[in-house]
Amino acid sequence: MLTDHLTPDRIRFADDVLTWQRAVELVTEPLVADGSITTDYVDAVTASIAGPGGTYVDLGFGIALAHARPEQGVVRPALSSLRVRPSVLLADDPAHPIDLFLCLAATDSSEHVQTMQELATLLTDDDARGRLLAATTPADVTAALSKTGQNA
């Protein structure tokens, strides 16, 4: 699912984003623009992070998986990414600096679980994770994802 749904037009890079709220706006923009999610979904993601325990989307290694429930505005499965520099504080919490935001739009729990399994594989592969975090172009991101679990 990662390489199927994270297409080059959904991979972004931004400097001086400053807030996690702005990062959520930027990472969700391609999915709103192509009709994969509604603006209600963006609002739900923002509210989830702002609420109690909102830092649960922090996957570690400076990566956050922004998402909400499918019924809150997912139209079709999709994934987007936003690399920010410098990092921003998720939920304004100094314990959660984030460099890479991923936005997951899953239409059901099986898609969600599959994506989480693929992300777990990626995050536990030091080389693939390093390539992903060092990526500076959409092609770099795609290459890092396609080599997950393989020797580069």
Sheet of strand 58-60: strand arrangement: 11-15, 78-89, 97-105, 63-66, 58-60
Q: What is the CATH number of the domain that holds 56?
A: 3.40.930.10
pLDDT value at position 74?
Answer: 96
For residue 112, being part of any structural domain is answered with: no
- Measured between alpha carbons, how far is 44 from 69 in angstroms, rounded to an integer? 8
For residue 128, being part of any structural domain is answered with: no
Structural domain total, the chain: 1
For residue 40, being part of any structural domain is answered with: yes
Residues of the chain predicted below pLDDT 70: 1, 147-152
pLDDT value at position 152?
Answer: 38
Q: Where is 44: in which H helix or E strand?
A: helix 39-50
pLDDT value at position 1?
Answer: 67
Q: What is the pLDDT of residues 16-47, one digit of tens each?
A: 999 999 999 999 999 999 999 999 999 999 99
pLDDT value at position 150?
Answer: 45
Could you list the active site residues? Answer: 67
Residue 26's domain spans which residues?
2-106
For residue 17, give Cα distances in angstroms to 14, 24, 84: 7, 10, 7
- Measured between alpha carbons, how far is 135 from 152 in angstroms, rounded to an integer? 15
